[in-house]
Structure 1
Amino acid sequence: MKPYAEVIGDPIAQSKSPKIHGFWLAKLGIAADYRACHVRPGDLADYLAARRADPLWRGCNVTMPYKQAVMPLLDRIDPPADAIGAVNTILARGDGALAGTNTDAAGFLEPLARHLAQTHYFRMARIIGTGGAARAIITALAGEGFTLVVAGRDPAKARALLDELGGRGAHHAIDLAHFADPTDFPFDDREGCLDLIVNASSLGMQGQPPLAFDWSHAPPRSIAYDIVTAPLDTPFLQGARAKGHRTIDGLAMLIGQAAVAFERFFGQPAPREHDAELRELLTQ
């Protein structure tokens, strides 16, 4: 009988969270478990009711399709989940209450910290996708002073997300197809600017349609960031490197957001000095 945390979703077999948290628990010698739990549609309320009554349960991470569905079932929504409008981490409080938070935004920004510490004349991010991950990414980048261009199959949904989450910036919503065709837009050299191209969708993931993005839409010295983890080196990232752009893969965000949750679950910081070993484990 040990304390434990979980990740829930439908489906859940693809989740890498048990490997990540299990790796850190072993490195730190913490006597606790981290499990995957398949919660089927219609069973979410019963799952949370059962866990409320379990004194060993420390909380859970939440993946698709429950990041918004869990919110009415919780006792409170903490920052930044209240601003993002989605919960990816539920924490058990000592009084039996359940609190929802979100670690996706912090995880997304972590590998960008060195760049964000610099001063720029202008920051722009082109974000592909309008799903749950995009909500956290839009909120995070708007808070860091980026002008945002959000592309989705439904531009009206992209516009609604920007109106809800983008703050007062002069942001733009466009059709996803816009980025598929070449452009002859004459970008300047962007010296002193920070440009991101972010795939916040499942396009390019194994079993999903490819992401059609023509790299003529990327200003010089852009950073390409793909949140997809399977495959890790996506055609999107390969295309970016071929054009001389810097790249960030999906494990960066996955490990970063997990580290925030791990400390909340188990009371100790994740041992990030072992990140290289963890990455090797996750790519086997």
Structure 2
Amino acid sequence: MSVSQTGPRPKRAFVIGHPIAHSRSPMLHGHWLETLGLAGVYEARDVAPEALPAFFENLRAEGYVGGNVTVPHKLAVIPFLAEIDEAARAIGAVNTIWLEGGRLVGGNTDAYGFLGNLDQLAPGWDAAGGVAVVLGAGGAARAAVYALLSRGFAVRLVNRTPATARDLAAHFGEGVTAHDWTALPALLPEANLLVNTTSLGMLGKPPLDIDLTQLKAGAVVNDIVYVPLDTPLLRQARARGLRTVDGLGMLLHQAVAGFAHWFGVTPSVTPALRALLEADIRAKTPGA
């Protein structure tokens, strides 16, 4: 009998969503498993909303130790979990699940990914603190606001639907103010960081049409969009000599904590990993 038949079954992790074929998480975690020499499996599972209860009922029997959660399940998974962490409660969504003492625990690593990306690509971006202007008021904005508050920033939340921005500002309380899109020109001069969390500028979406001339010379511009990698917003910022951070690193860094929970090793976000995903994105992005 071979070693593979008698040895322990490799740990299995997943990403669930509907649809899921577009996910780059299997490529990302597969790279870490291979380079670290770990016997593990990470796979994409297309789970329709009505199939979610059956998936969780069979999760342990299928040998899963946890996984990632993407749309439309980031809220729907919560009833199946014994506990969610503070970040998931504050952000209002779960993107990572793991077994802890035999219990299923949920967390949200998007804020970790957001900060890790900035720390790696724009070292010292938070040294002066001050004001961050965040465009959008959806799930990604929630993660960004949570992260920025943890670094002591005051956040100006700008959204085309002011009521949504006001609700989000009220959720986080002190340190966050809500503004209509028309207020953006007046807010930019005080910003040390500008973050786009909207889908504007993404492949197939309308462009993000704003004027960055009011941004101070030392400001950093972060676009969480990563398809395409080089958005018009980032190109405009670079033309002004500003430091820029694209959205790919957020995807890479948010994956670190989950991998550590499932496979017992904390991986690194390396240039080789980034190059692997960059090549895949460019190959599948028209005109890239």
Task: Give the TM-score taking structure 2 as reference length.
Answer: 0.86
Match of 1:25 among 18, 33, 54: 33
Match of 1:104 among 110, 113, 118: 110
- Does structure 1 residue 71 correspond to structure 2 residue 78? yes
Equivalent pair of 1:5/1:57 in contact (CA under 8 Å): yes
Unaligned ranges ≥5, structure 1: none
Number of aligned residue pairs: 268
Cα 1:51–1:206 shift into 2, 3 Å: same
Alignment partner, residue 151 of structure 1: 158
Unaligned ranges ≥5, structure 2: 1-8, 280-288
Match of 2:229 among 225, 229, 232: 232
Alignment partner, residue 136 of structure 1: 143
* CA shift digits 1:125-176 (9 cap, x unpaired): 11111111111111111121111111222111111111112x422x321233
1:204 is displaced (CA, Å) by: 1.2
1:253 is displaced (CA, Å) by: 0.9
Alignment partner, residue 256 of structure 1: 253
In the aligned structure 2, how far is the partner of 1:217 from the partner of 1:231? 25
In the aligned structure 2, how far is the partner of 1:10 from the partner of 1:205? 20
- Does structure 1 residue 37 correspond to structure 2 residue 45? yes
Equivalent pair of 2:137/2:165 in contact (CA under 8 Å): yes
Match of 1:276 among 271, 280, 288: 271
Q: Which amino acid aligns with 1:75?
A: A
Alignment partner, residue 13 of structure 1: 21
Cα 1:186–1:110 shift into 2, 3 Å: closer
1:178 is displaced (CA, Å) by: 4.6
Cα 1:137–1:34 shift into 2, 3 Å: same
Equivalent pair of 1:52/1:92 in contact (CA under 8 Å): no
Please give the secondary structure, in 2, of the residue aligned with 1:126. Answer: strand
In the aligned structure 2, how far is the partner of 1:186 from the partner of 1:60? 39
- Does structure 1 residue 115 correspond to structure 2 residue 124? yes
1:53 is displaced (CA, Å) by: 3.3
In the aligned structure 2, how far is the partner of 1:49 from the partner of 1:267? 24
Equivalent pair of 2:87/2:108 in contact (CA under 8 Å): yes
Equivalent pair of 1:77/1:101 in contact (CA under 8 Å): yes
- The percentage of aligned residue pairs carrying the same residue is 44
Cα 1:64–1:251 shift into 2, 3 Å: same
Q: CA RMSD in A?
A: 2.1
In the aligned structure 1, how far is the partner of 2:200 from the partner of 2:32? 30
Equivalent pair of 1:67/1:132 in contact (CA under 8 Å): no
Task: Give the TM-score taking structure 1 as reference length.
Answer: 0.87
Q: Which amino acid aligns with 2:273?
A: L
- Does structure 1 residue 162 correspond to structure 2 residue 169? yes
1:177 is displaced (CA, Å) by: 5.2
Match of 1:61 among 57, 68, 78: 68
In the aligned structure 1, how far is the partner of 2:178 from the partner of 2:188? 21
1:92 is displaced (CA, Å) by: 2.3
- Does structure 1 residue 172 correspond to structure 2 residue 181? no
1:229 is displaced (CA, Å) by: 1.4
* CA shift digits 1:85-123 (9 cap, x unpaired): 21110112342x2110111111111133342663x3x51
1:235 is displaced (CA, Å) by: 1.1
